[in-house]
Structure 1
Amino acid sequence: MSRIARTAPAGLALALAVTLSACGSSGGDVAADEKQTLTVWAMGAEGEKLAEVAKVYQKANPNITVKVTPVGWDVAHQKLVSAAAAGTLPDVAQMGGSYMGEFAELGVLEPVDTKVFDKKDFFPAGWEQGEVDGTAYGVPWYVDTRVLYYRTDLAEKAGVTKAPANWKELQALATAYQEKAGTKWGLSIQPSGLDTVQNFYSFLYSAGGEIVDDKGEAVIDSPQAVKALKEYGSYFDKGLSNKSVQPGYDVVKDFGNDRVPMFFGGPWHVTLLNEGQPQIKGKWAIANVPADASSTSMAGGSSLVVSKDSEHKAAATEFIEYLTDTEGQADWYERTKDLPANTSAWESGKLADDADLQVFKKQMDTAKSSPSLAQWTEITDKVDQAIAKVTQGKASAEDALKQAQSEIEGLVKQ
């Protein structure tokens, strides 16, 4: 149930740019108070839920018909690419942070009206996901991040009564789970395969490392990154983590049957555990990512963008404003459990009173977003490969990241 979308190869983006160079705006903008139909694409479960919200919006704005098209995440990128090439993007679309650099480069997105939307109203990492080269193209809709899920009952059995606050305590607890509580593993982290980097981010960012820095330069072989990968790899070296996890692995099930007592997960895991593993209710908790130099996790989520060719930009802007203001964000959370990107929505109601939700808010305050680069998928693939070499004992952290550095340098210079 990953909320991080992936992009196409940079070559495809460049080819499309040639096609799109002949496409321009199709005309003037229709005033927001005129009768019109607004087309909206939203992905996955959000597409279904947004249709319900659209009905409410239409009752208050009878001049606007909002036509929501749900799009599966598995086909979302290709549909967006095809629509961009044909000049038929919807007026409003949901877009993950890893899409933003690609579609901004294609020139098909309208810059955000910063007189309407103020970046100070949103989590910094949420806003940054919609920025490309200093220009905002997406308004944050919802955010997510990763925190530590751990079994409190098994921790007590292992003689530990508090959440691990740093790397030393995290590994000590993982060891104690195995040796004293009899769990199969100490911590579930991904050893290899697509998007392994998403598990690695909590180590990389907490150590002060990055893949590409603010100047657009590759820095994955920095001392901080090497330290993070050594720590990550040590869980596999010591048998604390499984080095042969199969694609589609369900950590929730193993968390419930005592095989895996800890994992890094997103906000949706709360619902999955409550509904799917009722036998451990009250026997688990969440905590912020254990710190090295800091406690810093990855930022995910989605933004809402407006097509540059849309003739309904004014109405589109008002609809997005409705979805991302304090009331709209609180309502969206109640419908979907997606975490609000607008920080004011956290100041009252369940979002303010729920201790678990506040763990996510604290993590989001320091979460780090990935750079909006058209080549980001190819870049993270190189990091995935480096991680796999270390977890499988085929290379040292230094050597694996040195090779990744060389390959990523070639990508960022394209």
Structure 2
Amino acid sequence: MHRAARTPLFALVAASALTLTACGGSGGSDVGAGAKQTLTVWAMGTEGEKLAEVAGTYEKAHPNITVKVTPIGWDVAHQKLVAAAAAGKLPDVMQMGSSYLGEFADMGALEPVDTKAFDKGDFFPAAWAQGDYDGTTYGVPWYVDTRVLFYRTDLADKAGLTGAPATMAELQKAAEAYQDKAGTKWGLSIQPSGLDAVQSFSPFLYSAGGAILDSDGKPVVDSAEAVKALENYGSYFDKGLSDKTFRPGYDVTKDFNTGTVPMFFSGPWVVGLLNDNYPDLKGKWAVANVPTDKTSGSFSGGSSLAISADSRHKAAAKEFIAYLTDAKGQADWYGRTKDLPANTAAWKTGELATDATMNVFRKQMETAQALPAQPKGTEITSKVDDAIGAVSQGKSSAKAALDKAQSEIENLVG
């Protein structure tokens, strides 16, 4: 899911159940794509609700296929997938949130992607990387998500700012100017602590040249680059530029509308929220790519589509996934959901080719980074969440907090 493709439910009991039961292809021979059959599909959140419409269109062109879509809420998705894997009853096709894939691939529950049928060159590099685990691809990118900077242009004028901040140093100066000259309460909204604070921190981390894990899955969160990024992040709280109080469920768009908050980092769904809920703000805000440090980097999220290793409908499942992830299918999906296409060719025609706001997200995806898939991905990022909280609350230096996180993450990756 583009808003929060993760839940904190990676329990050891569930993992043990998967280890015992996922058998990787014991479902028998494939019935073949041309046979009359029912394809079972699980999708989450809004995607689960919208996918049934697409399935109906697909069935008309493929009368031998019945596509049974089951929508599942993100709040229960992980535990349902775990239970189904333990019982040997995973659907033929399933949506994999960005933190799920490594866990299920590690347990042998997913079928490797046919890389002759799906070309990684058709997709954003970070999107394809989210489907990789231990040198094998298990998920085909379906849609992507990244973070860019939202800022109030009218208040920027009052603050004496011209355009969006281009560098991380300019970002902090802009936050100060919004407070001092435009009278905003805060300069920048960033998450101080709590679950998924790491997503808020990611633009600072990746732009500084840091990472949580390197491309081989080795922890590197104690690097000089990461420490510099967290020091910069923490300075917003030290200087009173950002609110250090964590409020679960906080809706930044309300404060953005009132002018309490003039800048924040978020994803593409916020564009629709602002347009729908605050039409009077039209022309008073804009988006920009993450300000550069060493580079302009951001978080890459989204979802992939995976096939159960035990499915007896792999050929039909592969064709359905191809339909959903080619350029035409991706453009259609964007029109229905506003989920950003993972297939780069979908951006070359229609609305996506001309929408200046959406193309800021497209440009950001070119340098966005994804956390390498890991069985304990959520546990790993929770250690960084803890480090962020310790720094924002003044309980630890950035170096000490990240040294602690590094040690804890080393124990998680083995």
Residues 23 and 93 of structure 1: is their aligned pair in 2 closer, same or farther, counting only changes over 3 Å? closer
Deviation at 1:12, TM superposition (A): 3.4
Q: Secondary structure at the match of 1:113?
A: coil
Shift of 1:216: 2.4
8 Å CA contact retained: 2:40, 2:92: yes
Counterpart of 1:108?
Answer: 109
Q: CA RMSD in A?
A: 1.2
Q: Where does residue 269 of structure 1 map in the other structure? A: 270
CA contact (8 A) 2:222 2:402 kept: yes
The answer for the alignment partner of 2:342 in structure 1 is: 341
In the alignment, structure 2 segments of 5+ residues that lack a partner are none
Tell me the alpha carbon deviations over residues 12-51 of structure 1, each in whole angstroms, 9 at most, x when there is no partner.
Answer: 3541244215685222101111111000000000011000
Partner of 2:331: 330
Q: How does 1:197-346 map to 2 (within 5 A)?
A: 197-346=198-347
Corresponding residue for residue 353 of structure 2? 352
SS at match of 1:56: helix
Amino acid at match of 1:98: S
Once residues 156 and 106 of structure 1 are traced to their aligned partners in structure 2, the CA distance between those partners, rounded to angstroms, is 54
TM-score, normalised with respect to structure 2: 0.98
Alpha carbons of structure 1 residues 94 and 158: separation in structure 2 relative to 1, 3 Å: same
Partner of 1:124: 125
Aligned-partner residue type, residue 321 of structure 2: I
Give yes or no for contact 2:176–2:187 (8 Å, CA) kept in 1: yes
Cα deviation per residue 1:233-267 (whole Å; 9 max; x = unaligned)?
Answer: 00000000000131111101110011000000100
State whether residues 22 and 109 of structure 2, in contact with CA within 8 Å, keep that contact through their aligned partners in structure 1: no
Q: Deviations over 1:46-66 (max 9, x none)?
A: 011000000101111111100
86-95 vs 215-224, which moves further: 215-224
Name the residue aligned to 2:158: 157
Q: Does structure 1 retain, via aligned residues, the 8 Å contact 2:24–2:309?
A: no
Q: Measure the CA separation in 2 of the matches of 1:319 and 1:23.
A: 21
Q: Measured at CA, do residues 27 and 237 of structure 1 come closer, stay the same or move farther in structure 2, by a change above 3 Å?
A: same
Query: CA–CA distance in 2 between the matches of 1:201 and 1:401?
Result: 14
Contact 1:142/1:302 (<8 A) preserved: yes
Aligned 8 A contact 1:6 1:99 in 2:
no
Helix, strand or coil at the partner of 2:100 = helix
AA partner of residue 201 (structure 2): F
1:50 aligns with 2:51: yes
Name the amino acid aligned to 2:299: M
Q: Please say if 1:365 is aligned against 2:366.
A: yes
Letter in 1 for 2:152: R
Any gaps of 5 or more consecutive residues in structure 1? none
**In 2, distance between residues paired with 1:6 and 1:131?**
20
Contact 1:330 1:340 in 2 (8 A): yes
What is the one-letter code of the residue matched to 2:375?
Answer: A
Tell me, in whole angstroms, the C-alpha distance in 2 between the residues paired with 1:351 and 1:242. 35
Over 3 Å counting, the alpha-carbon distance change for 1:273 and 1:21 in structure 2 is: closer
Aligned equivalents of 1:195 and 1:343: distance in 2?
27
Following the alignment from structure 1 to structure 2, what is the Cα–Cα distance between the partners of residues 56 and 329? 14
Please tell me whether the aligned partners of residues 16 and 106 of structure 1 are also in contact (alpha carbons under 8 angstroms): no
**2 CA distance for matches of 1:187 and 1:23?**
47
- 2:238 maps to a residue whose letter is D
- For 1:18 and 1:147, how far apart are their aligned partners in 2? 38
Report percent identity of matched pairs.
Answer: 67
Give the partner amino acid of 2:60: K
Letter in 2 for 1:29: D
The TM-score with structure 1 as length reference comes to 0.98
**Number of residue equivalences:** 413
Is residue 206 of structure 2 the alignment partner of residue 190 of structure 1? no
2:203 alignment partner, SS class: helix
Distance 1:342 1:122 in 2: 4
Residues 7 and 102 in structure 1, CA contact (< 8 A), matched pair in contact too: no
- For the residue of structure 2 that corresponds to 1:98, the secondary structure is coil
- CA apart distance, 1:330: 0.3
